[in-house]
Every structure is written in C-alpha cells, then in structure tokens.
Structure 1
Amino acid sequence: MSLPLRIKSSKNRVITEPIPLKPGWYILSVLSLLMGFASISTDLYLPAMPLMGRSLGADAGMIELTISGYLIGFSLGQLFWGPISDRYGRRPSVAVGLIMFVIGSAGCALADSTNQLIIWRIVQAIGACAGVALSRAMVRDLYEGNRAAQMLSTLITVMAIAPLIGPSVGGQILAFSGWRAIFWVLVGVGVITLAALLTIPETLPAARRNHEPLGRAMLRYITILRDKRVLGYIGTGAFLYAGMYAYVAGTPFAYISYYHVPAENYGLLFGLGIVGIMLANILNSRLVLRYGYDKVLLAGCFVCALAAIVTAIAAGSGWGGLWGLVVPLLVFASTTGLIVANSITGAMALFPERAGAVSALTGALQYGSGIFGSGLLGVFADGTPCPMGWIIAFCGIGCLLSTTLLLPAKFRKPGLTANTEAHNTKKY
C-alpha cells in the first residue's frame, strides 16, 4: 500500500510525484508514536535510575552512561536507516527497526550487570532510531516548506504526551513491580507499534526511490555536509540536544538526590518541561506560517541561550533553591518546540530528493551530540547540579552561535528568510 502518483512534465523531463493527500488522524497518530520512541525509551526509566544503580552495584556516573550508550546506538544507527529507507521504502525499514527495539528492550529487562544493560540499550537504540528518523522523512514525503515545519510541530506536540506521562508511569511501575518491569512494558509498546505500522501506507513510492548502491549513498553524506546552511541547521539542533540530554541525565540526581524530591514526584517536575515543549510547539505551528521557520528558529535560539545561562548561575550558586533551578530549566526545555521542527525542516528542504538521508544525518548528529552532553555529565558529576548547569549553558550559547554564524546572511535581514519560495519548491 503506497501513495498514488501523478505524472507531470517540466523542461522536457517527466517527473513522477505523489498526489497530495490529506493524511487522516490515524496515520498522523502512528507517525507521532514513532517520533516518540526516543523519549519513550529513556523517560520511562528515569525515576528508576538511582534504584538501578543500587541494584546493579553501580554509581551514578555508570548509570548515566546507559543514556550515553543509548545515544551512541541512536545516532550511528540513523546513518544507515536513512539511505536504506531512500532505497527500499520507509515502512519496511521502520518495521525492521521496531523488531530490533523489541529485542533490545527484552535484553535490558534481563540484564544482570551495568555493562550488559549498556550493550542492550545500544541495540534498543539502533532499532528505535529508525522510527524517529524515518517518521520525519515520511512527513517530508507528504508536506513541503513551512507546512512541513507546521506538521512536525503538531506531531511533536502529540508525541510529547509520552515523555509527559513517561516518568510518572515509570515511577508507578517502579513502585509496584521494580525497574525490570519498565523494560518489559517497552517490549509491549514495540509490538503494538509494529502492528500499527503495518496498517498505514508507504509514503515513498518506488518511482521516487534512490536506487544507487548503499555504499555510494552513504558517501553522499559528505556532499550534504558541504552545504553551510545544512551545518547551521544541524549545529543548532545538535547543541540543543546536547544540553537537553544533560538535562535528562542530570535532573534525576539533582532533584531526587540533591534536593530530596521523592522519586514518585520526579515525574511531575519533569512533566513541566514537557508541557512547555508542547505549548511551544503549538505556538511554533502558528508562527511558522506567518514568519517562516528561519525567523522563528532564531528567536527560539535567543531564548534558549538566555535560559541556559540563568540555569548555570542558579545551579552554581544555589539561588532560589529547587525552584530557582526548575524554572530556567523549564524555559530551556520549552525552546525545543521552537527549534527542533524548524531546524529539521530547514535541513530537509535543501535536499528534498534525499529526505531520508538528510533526516537521518540530522538526527544522528543531533542525538550524537547528546552523547557528549550526558557523557560529560557522567565524567564531571560531583553530587551537585553545578556540572549540569554549566554544560547546559555552553550548549545554549553554541545553539545560538550555530544559527547566527552559519545560516545565510539574507536570513538575518528584516523581511527575508532562508526558506524562500524557490528554496521550498525543489522537485524530485
């Protein structure tokens, strides 16, 4: 099952492209679920991290490396799924990824050492990243330009329900069944998602697929990275993700261990950031159609950098206590809604004929940067929120500099954006 095609001519060429469809709520819901696998796989077990450390005889730094290990698999795996999906289609590629996710989740549930847990987390991540990267490419198959940015924001808003309730649900599972049960729940989620995937259409018809050898397709990443605008978009998202994963890895210990927040209440504080992301995505879906995704992206980066600096000051000085840290972290996390969809859309718009590869490359470098964010936190963890605060500040500033230094000069002139009409009307 795939999208119907239409034939049109342009300058003595015959172009086969999909007939524009208006996907129903069911297809969009499945895409949102696929986008949520990155957060589902991590947020559900965040409240269990201190207990996992005690159960496996590991310190906080080792348990935080389970997040870094996940990010290694998640970032590198995307580089393979992108070209594979451009050649063989989105749906079969995601299906194979979901099977790997189920196997990895079961392995995590059965692990009896931290090293085993890290290895199975990598397997889990390689599978999960297929759904995340390729669902974005599927949106690009269906929409273009600012409309694609709007739809990504809308889907991310729906997807954000998972991390919103994830830590709370994980806390309840932890209280009743222990931390291993959390990973068995993820096995069930993977099986259900696989069944749902098989009921939606393929968005990349055979006529639009890239049939060059996979080895050559992988080398195309070098061509993509030569475009400075792509580097600008990717760098913006990469710095943001590095800061966000320092936030994800650091807040359980900052809130629970340092400020003595009960583990079952951690999800409530973490959920504030998710609500902020959802509201920012709703706002973004309205603003991009009026101002263009580049201008909204720049505004989000300014707010991100400011909030990150305030977070570092609060974490280092203890100013305001718990809420002095929670509030700027809330603002920092919320800017994800103004940055992620716009940076991904901007990158894919530059190479629409390779949307799968660009989405995978963007995701790989963005999530790969999370390795450094969470990894640095594991190295410099000292029992206080201070290392987390300064890592987030560095990332927030880097996010802003990537946008202002690498995106086209015309983007910074009033009334103009990088996503011009010509930019958005490239054809396959």
Structure 2
Amino acid sequence: MSTPSSKPDSRLVALMVLLVLFSPLAIDIYLPAMPVMAEDLGVSATRMQDTISWFLVTMGLGQLLAGPLADRFGRRPVALTGIVIYAVSAGLAWVASSMDALLAARLLQGAGACATSVCAFAAVRDTFSGKRCGQMISYLNGAICFIPALAPLLGAWLTAQFGWRSNFSFMMAFAVVAFVLVLTLFRETRPADTDTSGPLLSPARYWSVLKEPVFIYHAMLCLLAMSVILSYVTSAPVRLINGLGLTMDEFTVWFGINAAFNIFASMTAPKVMDMIGSRKTLYGGLITLVSGGVLMLSLSHIQAAWAFMVPVFISSFGFAWVLGSAAGKALEPFGQRAGTAAALLGLFQMSGSGVLVSLSQRVGFSEPELLAFHMFLMLPGLLLLWSAKGKRWHTAEC
C-alpha cells in the first residue's frame, strides 16, 4: 500500500517500465516481417495492418475491466494475470495458420497487454503526485521508445534466421521472465483507502471519471497523439519497403533513428515541463504536430525515405510533449479511482486511436497523406487550449 509522493522508487519504476513494454513489443518486433507475413498468409498489406489496429482496440476495451479489477484486487495480481494471457496468446499466434487465427490471437494478446499497462500507470499514480506523476509518465514513455529502436532490429534478425513466427516465440520468453520478476519483486501499491465497494462494472464508476471535462479533454489529446504514432508504425513498412523499395535492414535503420528521437524527446519532456510548465509544453507539442503535418504534405511528392521520415522525426517531439503534459493531467483528479481512470485513459488512447486509424486507412489516403491527416486533427485541441475553457482545464501550473 502507498500514498502519492514526489520521491522516486527505482525498483518500482523499473518494474513499471517492464510492464509497459508488453504493448510496444507486441507491435514493433514484427514490423519488418509484415510484408513476409502478408505474403505467407495470402492477405493484403492493409489486412496485415489490422493485426496492429485490432490489438490496440482490444487493449483499450479490455482496460474497462482491467482497471476496476486493479482497484478491487490490487495492481499485482491483475498484472500477473495479464502476463499469463499475453504469453498464451503469443503461443497461439506462433501456431496460427490463417489470418483469422492470427487476428484472434492478437485480440487476446491485446487483453493481456491492457492489464499490464493499466497496472503500471495506476501504480505510478498511486506512488507519485501532481507534476511528478506527469514526469514519471514521460519517463515511462521514454522507456517504451527503446522498443521501437531495438525490437525491429531483433525482429528482422529473427525473421531472417528463423522465420516470422520466431517473433512470437520471443514474446513468450519475455513474458516468462517478466512474470518471475513481477512475482518476486513487485509490492502492491493500491492505496489502503481505495473504494472496493459496489459492483465491479458499475456504470457509475466510469461516469465519475467521464463527467470530468479535464479528463475528457486530455484523454482526447492522448487519443489523437497516439493515432499519429499508430498511423506511422502501420504505414512505414508499406511506404518504405513496398513503396520505396528499402530492404528490411534499411527500414530498421530509419525506424531506429526515429526511435532515438522518441527516446530523447520523452526523456527530456519532464525537464521541458520543469522549465516552462506543462501548459506551455502542451502548446509546443500541439503546434509541433500540426507543423509536422504541413511539412509532410509539402514533401509528399518526393519519393525518398528522408522526405517521409523527417516530418515523423519532428512529430516525435510533439507526441512526447503532448502525452507527457496530457496523460498526467488526465489522471490527476482520481487518487482513489486511479485504476479506473487509467483504464479509461487507455481506452481512449488505444481503442480510440486503433479505430480511428483503421477507418482512415480505408479512405484511400497515401501514407504521407494519412500521417498529415492525423497530425492536423490536433488543431482543434490547440484552438481549445487557447480558449477560456482550455485555460481552466489545463492551468499554467499543474
């Protein structure tokens, strides 16, 4: 049990990093293998992209159950259960012989990943308060960005040496190691005064969070920022490998460079918030993302990898600043309902972005147009932040 503080707990932070890595690992490790997987299973590139979008949809929806479970039974048992589900579903993906079987396994895997993610962010909210909570979330996001830097390199090697199914073997092994570490090292963080009365899935539990305009506004910003990243990771293999003819190794180099920008942006976002405040950081992030969309369209006629990736590099900073400023603010009012609030935030961020990107991919946009479209969707949030309501919902100091 714990109460929010401002002092870091290095072991807890390390374990929370471990828990949030399940989701990006499940997305990024097999990105270089997606063209091979599509050919092997006889499906289109768009259909193979559904393995990512559907994973995120289930990951978000599952949090509606995982959040209340984490509030009722504690962060530790729910996290351990999620790890088991993740490992089993990775095994099902490994033996999948059809696209339908692979999608079913990915849906289940999203349910496992959602439990680990909810528990990680709820534990951060349990342990850290105020601005420190937002900063720690930024650090977690920075750690998450190590996966896009390393996982595609590993996935490319595994695919070349052992075939695309070996990526799911690695996920199983990762889950086993994580299970042992969480089982032996993770101490429960759920506050002693957490309200565990009433039905588990009471609509009132969710409504108490959803009726807060501060939550809705910042959760929507997280959704839209995540949709930029999701549209990138699903479109990059199609644009760079299929469209521009890059090799798998060349693709992983570009992907790794962007991950390095993501890491730097996320790790420095807390310092930026310290220097200029979270409101100005949010301003900067929204403006950066919109500007990235303008640049993406301006360079879209150039058939070169750099023309596609440079606007993405810029958007990495916008994403880190928006998510660091908005996620902590969205969870801030919910000390005794941190699990439920984290679950709803995950629903917005994961399921919302998954549905939005899946629909926009079917409109007929080219890959640069798709990314620019999602970057431009940040503009209403920027305009609202300038309004009187926006100034109330996100004060200059938080």
Instruction: Quickly name the TM-score band, shorter chain normalised.
Output: over 0.9
The 2-side partners of 1:321 and 1:111 are apart by 35
Displacement, 1:419? 6.3
Residue in structure 1 matched with residue 350 of structure 2 by the alignment: 367
The 2-side partners of 1:350 and 1:24 are apart by 22
Q: Secondary structure at the match of 1:353?
A: coil
Runs of 5+ in structure 2 lacking a partner? Answer: none
Aligned counterpart in structure 2 of residue 399 of structure 1, from 378, 381, 396:
378
The 1-side partners of 2:6 and 2:326 are apart by 24
Aligned counterpart in structure 2 of residue 189 of structure 1, from 166, 170, 174:
174
Q: Secondary structure at the match of 2:189?
A: coil
Which amino acid is the alignment partner of residue 365 of structure 1? F
- Asked if the contact 2:284–2:318 (Cα under 8 Å) also holds between the matched residues in 1, the reply is no
Q: Does 1:418 align with 2:379?
A: no
The 2-side partners of 1:339 and 1:245 are apart by 15
Residue in structure 2 matched with residue 11 of structure 1 by the alignment: none
Instruction: State the Cα RMSD in Å.
Output: 2.2
Deviates more, 1:72-81 or 1:177-186: 72-81
Displacement, 1:68? 1.7
- Asked if the contact 1:83–1:357 (Cα under 8 Å) also holds between the matched residues in 2, the reply is yes
Matches within 5 A, 1:182-221: 182-198=167-183, 199-216=185-202, 218-221=203-206
The 1-side partners of 2:97 and 2:229 are apart by 29
Residue in structure 1 matched with residue 62 of structure 2 by the alignment: 77
Q: Does 1:34 align with 2:19?
A: yes
- Asked if the contact 1:229–1:408 (Cα under 8 Å) also holds between the matched residues in 2, the reply is no
Deviations 1:115-149 (A, max 9, x none): 11001000001001111122111111111111111
Matches within 5 A, 1:162-311: 162-198=147-183, 199-216=185-202, 218-311=203-296
Under a length normalisation based on structure 1, what TM-score does the superposition of the two structures give? 0.87
Which amino acid is the alignment partner of residue 346 of structure 2? G
Which amino acid is the alignment partner of residue 380 of structure 2? L
Deviations 1:308-340 (A, max 9, x none): 23213323xx23622111100111133221111
Change (3 A) 1:378 1:408: closer
Runs of 5+ in structure 1 lacking a partner? Answer: 4-17
Deviates more, 1:20-29 or 1:347-356: 20-29
Change (3 A) 1:80 1:204: same
Residue in structure 2 matched with residue 94 of structure 1 by the alignment: 79
Change (3 A) 1:365 1:131: same
Displacement, 1:158? 2.5
The 2-side partners of 1:350 and 1:19 are apart by 12
Larger Rg: 1
- Asked if the contact 1:246–1:373 (Cα under 8 Å) also holds between the matched residues in 2, the reply is no
The 2-side partners of 1:197 and 1:407 are apart by 43
- Asked if the contact 1:274–1:334 (Cα under 8 Å) also holds between the matched residues in 2, the reply is no
The 2-side partners of 1:325 and 1:228 are apart by 36
Displacement, 1:367? 1.1
Deviations 1:64-92 (A, max 9, x none): 11112111211101111111111111111
Q: Does 1:44 align with 2:21?
A: no
Which amino acid is the alignment partner of residue 181 of structure 2? A
- Asked if the contact 1:313–1:389 (Cα under 8 Å) also holds between the matched residues in 2, the reply is no
Displacement, 1:159? 2.9
Which amino acid is the alignment partner of residue 102 of structure 1? A
Identity of aligned residues (%): 26
The 1-side partners of 2:302 and 2:144 are apart by 34
Q: Secondary structure at the match of 1:379?
A: coil
Under a length normalisation based on structure 2, what TM-score does the superposition of the two structures give? 0.93
Residue in structure 1 matched with residue 101 of structure 2 by the alignment: 116
- Asked if the contact 2:287–2:318 (Cα under 8 Å) also holds between the matched residues in 1, the reply is no
Change (3 A) 1:378 1:118: farther
Displacement, 1:47? 0.4
Aligned counterpart in structure 2 of residue 64 of structure 1, from 49, 60, 63:
49
Residue in structure 2 matched with residue 13 of structure 1 by the alignment: none
Deviations 1:187-228 (A, max 9, x none): 011111111112121111443343332122x43322322222
Which amino acid is the alignment partner of residue 222 of structure 2? G
- Asked if the contact 1:40–1:162 (Cα under 8 Å) also holds between the matched residues in 2, the reply is yes
Which amino acid is the alignment partner of residue 389 of structure 1? P
Change (3 A) 1:74 1:170: same
Q: Secondary structure at the match of 2:332?
A: helix
Q: Which runs of 4+ in 1 moved over 3 A?
A: 19-24, 410-413
The 2-side partners of 1:39 and 1:234 are apart by 20
The 2-side partners of 1:239 and 1:196 are apart by 34
Which amino acid is the alignment partner of residue 418 of structure 1? T
- Asked if the contact 2:4–2:126 (Cα under 8 Å) also holds between the matched residues in 1, the reply is no
- Asked if the contact 2:293–2:311 (Cα under 8 Å) also holds between the matched residues in 1, the reply is yes
- Asked if the contact 2:384–2:390 (Cα under 8 Å) also holds between the matched residues in 1, the reply is no
- Asked if the contact 2:361–2:370 (Cα under 8 Å) also holds between the matched residues in 1, the reply is no
Change (3 A) 1:57 1:203: same
Residue in structure 2 matched with residue 10 of structure 1 by the alignment: none
